Each structure stands twice: as structure tokens, then as C-alpha cells.
Amino acid sequence: HMLIVMAYVPNTLEVPVLTELMKRNSVSLDESRVAELLKKATEEALLMYSAESDNYIFIHDRIREASRGSIADEDKDDLLLHLSLVLQKLAKGPETEWCLFVAVDLLNSLPSEKTNCNDLARLNMRVSVIARNRGIVEKQNELLHDGLQCLMSSGKLWEDYNLTLSLLNDVIPCDRELGCFDKATTAIDEVLA
């Protein structure tokens, strides 16, 4: 289970974070047990310790992909939902903002019936502001479009007028800044429609 959790979180994980992510369905390991499992996976050449990041990482991307593939599809969505909720709770400041980026990416990968589209669109917008403040305009643009796509695919584009208008008002200058003039024009047309 530990390798599957690690496979879906692209960042290297500290033992306390990994311990929190692994708490699920009345299964709870303490940090010392998680550390033992990490050492065992290292001995079995699945993970390696990275002195640079002071954490354990997959020894090869194929092991990460095999770990991802070892969970049944019906369980995968529930796991991703669990991971995203825990990561959102762990995001408490600038040093843990990465948790929000991973959480929103996990939620965006889920089928729309597994998420609350309005909440997901708001989370996309919230994380897009963090991306913009960090100067990651491409990620900001991706998140804004993901938020809009979530609303469109669920048929709730204008259900929350202020949310949709905010997303469109943010995406238009972002599209223009990236030279995506066709997308910006489509967003303008949607606002004016």
C-alpha cells in the first residue's frame, strides 16, 4: 500500500506526511513502522534514499508505474480522493503549498461524478493564484481551464455565476499572456453570451 501511495504523489515524502497519507479504512501505521517499510523497500531495491532531498524516492520510474498499476480501477478513484483530502489538510503554509498542487491534480484526474464540481473549480482557482504568485503562468492557465472544464462537463458552467465569471476573468488575460488568443476569444465570447 505504501508504494501505491508514493506512486501517486510526485514529491518526495517525509515520513510524517507519508504516515498521514497511509491512514485509511481503519489502517493506521505509526511513523516508526512506516520508516521500517521504507527501509525494507530500499533493501528490496524498490526505493532509494536521496540525501539531496532527505527522503526516499523510487529507484526507477517503471517501479512507480508498476505501483500505480497494482491498484484496481474501482479502488483507485477512492484512493486519489483520500490522498487529495489529506493533502489539502496538510497544506498549512508556503512550505507545504505543494500539497495543494498535488491535491488539485489528483482531483482533476477523477471522473466528474466523484467530485463536487463547484468545490473543485474553486480549488483550481485558489491554486492558480498560488501558481501566478510563483510566476508559473502555464500552471495557472492549466488550472483555470481545468476548473472551467469541470463546470462545463458537469453542466454547471453558469450555476454559480460569480465562480464562473471569476474563472473566465482570470483565464482571459492568462490565455493572452501565453499567446493563446483563440482560447481567450472563446472565453470572451462566453462572458458576452
- The rounded Cα 55 to chain-centroid distance in angstroms is 20
How confident is the model over 90-111, as a mean pLDDT? 92
Which amino acid type is present at position 6? M
How confident is the model over 14-27, as a mean pLDDT? 83
For residue 131, the model assigns a pLDDT of 96
C-alpha closest to that of 125 among 163, 151, 162:
163
Q: What is the pLDDT of residues 73-82, one digit of tens each?
A: 878 999 999 9
For residue 182, the model assigns a pLDDT of 95
Max mean pLDDT range (18-22, 36-40, 141-145): 141-145
pTM for this structure? 0.86
What 3-state class would DSSP assign to 58?
A: strand
Whether residue 184 contacts residue 175, with contact meaning beta carbons closer than 8 Å, is answered with yes
Q: What is the pLDDT of residues 106-129, one digit of tens each?
A: 999 998 888 999 999 999 999 999
Mean pLDDT of all residues belonging to the chain? 91
Q: What angle do CA 114, 116, 122 make, to 5 degrees?
A: 135
For residue 129, the model assigns a pLDDT of 96
Whether residue 18 contacts residue 6, with contact meaning beta carbons closer than 8 Å, is answered with yes
What 3-state class would DSSP assign to 120?
A: helix
For residue 96, the model assigns a pLDDT of 87
70-to-3, 50, 64 alpha-carbon distances in Å: 10, 25, 10
- The rounded Cα 26 to chain-centroid distance in angstroms is 24
For the chain, percent of residues with pLDDT exceeding 70: 99
Q: What angle do CA 27, 33, 35 make, to 5 degrees?
A: 125
Instruction: Look up cell 517501479; give the residue.
Output: 63
Can you read off the three cell numbers belonging to residue 46?
524498490
How confident is the model over 186-190, as a mean pLDDT? 94
For residue 112, the model assigns a pLDDT of 85
Q: Which phi and psi angles does 176 have, rounded to 5°? A: -65, -40
**CA–CA dist 57, 137 (Å, integer):** 28
Which residues fall within 8 angstroms of residue 137, CB to CB, at 6 or more apart? 131, 174, 177, 178
